Amino acid sequence: MNPFQMIYMIILTLLLIYDFFPVFFLSDIISPEVLLGVMIGLFLSILFKKDRHPDHGAKFKEQLFSTLYLLSLVGMLTALGGRSTIGISLNNVFLLIVLLLSCYHTFSYWKKAKQSET
């Protein structure tokens, strides 16, 4: 995992914890709309980032790890009694659309990795 990916995961983890448990942070400083904007901006920056390395197998593993990590984080925060202030949940249509886009990208990296092996 590259440093950019690691920083992205840390920031996203902190933002999700803040979203599910705003009483643990200074909730008067950041509004839920700003939080949603930052999360969408982070997602779009990853989604439209140029592919810098040709190793599609590594990219596939990173994408799969990120998707599973974020889904498990949302599930864990929900199980701990948190409630998203911006509406992120495992049955949210927006999250399912993002998940489908992520699955599409993951599948395309897997397909490219399989093609490069042969």
Residue type, 81: G
Rounded CA-CA distance 99/91 in Å is 11
- pTM for this entry: 0.69
Give, for all 118 residues of the chain, the pLDDT tens digit: 667 677 778 778 878 888 888 777 655 666 667 767 777 777 777 666 665 556 666 777 777 888 889 889 999 999 999 888 888 888 888 888 888 888 887 788 778 777 777 6
